[in-house]
Structure 1
Amino acid sequence: MNTDTCAQKLRHVNFPLVTSVPVELGSLTPKEGEYDDRIPVIEAIGVEKAIYRRLGSHDGIVRCYDLETSDPSIRMERMSGDLRHFLKEQEPQLPRGILLSWFVQLAHTMAYIHGHRIIIADIRLDNLLLNDTLDVKFCDFGESTLMPLEWDLSGTDELGYSILNDIGQFGAVMYQVITGRECKFDLTRKGSDSWYSGPRRDDLPSTESVWLGHIIENCWTLGFQSSEELAAALDRAPLS
């Protein structure tokens, strides 16, 4: 399949994971006549590797190796941990300068990812990793969509995911980092034949009196039509 002309996505392949390698209890080889559960896992890893190949090397994305091999695995650079667990260990809260630098890094990286015609679809604290110098990076594109290179960034993939959903999830990450309170920008659908959609504004917390609340609010109310607009707003954002 030509990954430059066809949108690719394989979702909801749920297996226990050990060091990012899907495993099953018992034998991995299916019995005669049984469905081979390994097939969708291998295909999903193949799509994710194609995404990493298209993205290439970028400071805001965890580096991957051996992407040209046919092995059903992805080898990544070692990182210090994810943002969720790191923030739980911080007391008192980190200086705003550090938080803003993270948001700026992430927004510009998201713009780079969207520029390569990829819908991320799963932006959350667990998928944002830190290195030893506290640079924050995207990883895990297992839920992402590899769109055709000629896509103009408008509209959705075949399930209803869009860059606007990514921006909404980005706002939820900002809210959690700033306030320390949980916030989920869940994408749901009413039935198997319907599109995924984001939450209603009433289902999300108030941003009143929250630092950078106006930016978070725009993430949730379509105030930004592109990740470039979001990145530009964060470039101008005050620390006070």
Structure 2
Amino acid sequence: MESTHGPSPNDQEQTPYEFESGFTEHTSFHSNVSEISNPSDYKPLGVTHIISQGQSLIGVLNDNQVLKYPSDPNNKEYQEIIRKEAAILQRIGAHPRIVGFLGLNEFGIRLRYYPQGSLRRYLKYHPYVRVSKKLDWCEQLASAVGLVHSKNVIHCDICLHNVLLNDNLEVLLADFQGILLSRDNTVALDGLTRECPKSYMPREDIHDASVKTDLFALGSAIYHIINGHEVFPELRNLHDGEEILHRFMDGTYPGSDYVASSVVEKCWKGEYTDAKEVSVDLAELQQAARQADSGNLKRDLILQW
């Protein structure tokens, strides 16, 4: 499905908008908005049905592929965001923990289709998942974040809505409308996406983003995985953003009586330098969880006997 290696060193000097298919920043997206009564219903040629709506739509092409494209084909800003996401995905390269990028066409980005959907949705309908399995997901997500950062990419919107599951129920990170950095750490591309309040590290400049802001969001994602719900479930991102921000600024975190609370709070406090450190701490917790699972299994067998 995907190879395990990213771009070669020679690719590093490639202009961000140049793609192997020959699609460049000067290529126009297909535009027929005058024929569309409701842009949210817009289905380019080949799309059978829409499975996600927003500024961009995701439509199914076949059993293996979806198309991500602007809801309004004449909106230049959305077109630009789609191009930037494609450039970032190409820079990251193919990897088992990253959504499968299949190239661009005249309508948008072709991506691998994952019928299992998002981890957020899976947890909603499968609330009773073993802690060891949840820690597996946390480790896989931390690994994906580490890979992204190694490619000079800041994701800028790590949350379970953007974490997909493959057929083996393993994690893949998706939705790359974030930042691509140049070698000197200046911004080469910015898709202008930033985190929602429950994943947002308090900072003076809302447009500022870094490894640490991604790791903060990773902490919120780990909290969600372990607890089965977002941080501060009584508050809503849309209406309670200021209250959420103040709680994070004041260090008013949820209780620490859950697995991986120490990892989550270190992410929120900015105490990790990179995602590898998060992975190390998660691996230690995973080892303990597996030992506990093994002990519980032996106990259950003895009781049954």
TM-score (norm 1): 0.75
- Native 8 Å contact 2:247 2:253 kept in 1: no
> Which of 82, 86, 93 is the equivalent residue of 2:118?
82
Question: Equivalences for 1:26-65 in 2 at 5 Å?
Answer: 38-65=75-102
Where 2:16 maps in the other structure, the secondary structure is: coil
Counterpart position of 1:130: 165
Q: 1:109 to 1:23 in 2, by over 3 A?
A: closer
Unaligned segments of structure 2, at least 5 residues? 1-13, 18-53, 60-67, 187-203, 293-305
1:3 aligns with 2:40: no
Unaligned segments of structure 1, at least 5 residues? 5-13, 29-36, 191-196
Counterpart position of 1:113: 148
For residue 3 of structure 1, report the CA deviation from its aligned partner. 3.0
Structure 1 runs of 4+ off > 4 angstroms? none
Higher helix share: 2
Q: 1:209 to 1:218 in 2, by over 3 A?
A: same
Q: Which has the higher contact order (CA 8 A, sep 6+)?
A: 1
Q: 1:138 to 1:204 in 2, by over 3 A?
A: farther
- Tell me, in whole angstroms, the C-alpha distance in 1 between the residues paired with 2:98 and 2:79: 22
- State the AA in 2 paired with 1:107: A
The C-alpha deviation readout for 1:119-141, integer Å capped at 9, x for no partner, is: 10101111000011101100111
1:222 aligns with 2:245: no
- Tell me, in whole angstroms, the C-alpha distance in 2 between the residues paired with 1:177 and 1:105: 12
- Tell me, in whole angstroms, the C-alpha distance in 2 between the residues paired with 1:207 and 1:47: 39
Question: Equivalences for 1:77-226 in 2 at 5 Å?
Answer: 77-79=112-114, 80-91=116-127, 93-142=128-177, 144-151=178-185, 159-183=207-231, 200-202=248-250, 205-226=253-274
Counterpart position of 1:236: 284
Where 1:200 maps in the other structure, the secondary structure is: helix
- State the AA in 2 paired with 1:220: W
- Tell me, in whole angstroms, the C-alpha distance in 2 between the residues paired with 1:98 and 1:39: 42
Where 2:217 maps in the other structure, the secondary structure is: helix
- Tell me, in whole angstroms, the C-alpha distance in 2 between the residues paired with 1:198 and 1:122: 20
Flag the structure with larger Rg. Answer: 2
- Tell me, in whole angstroms, the C-alpha distance in 2 between the residues paired with 1:89 and 1:204: 29
> Which of 108, 121, 141 is the equivalent residue of 1:73?
108
- Tell me, in whole angstroms, the C-alpha distance in 1 between the residues paired with 2:227 and 2:80: 39
- Native 8 Å contact 1:42 1:72 kept in 2: no
- State the AA in 1 paired with 2:71: V
Q: 1:16 to 1:111 in 2, by over 3 A?
A: closer
Percent identity, aligned pairs only, is 26
- Tell me, in whole angstroms, the C-alpha distance in 2 between the residues paired with 1:199 and 1:148: 34
Q: 1:132 to 1:236 in 2, by over 3 A?
A: same
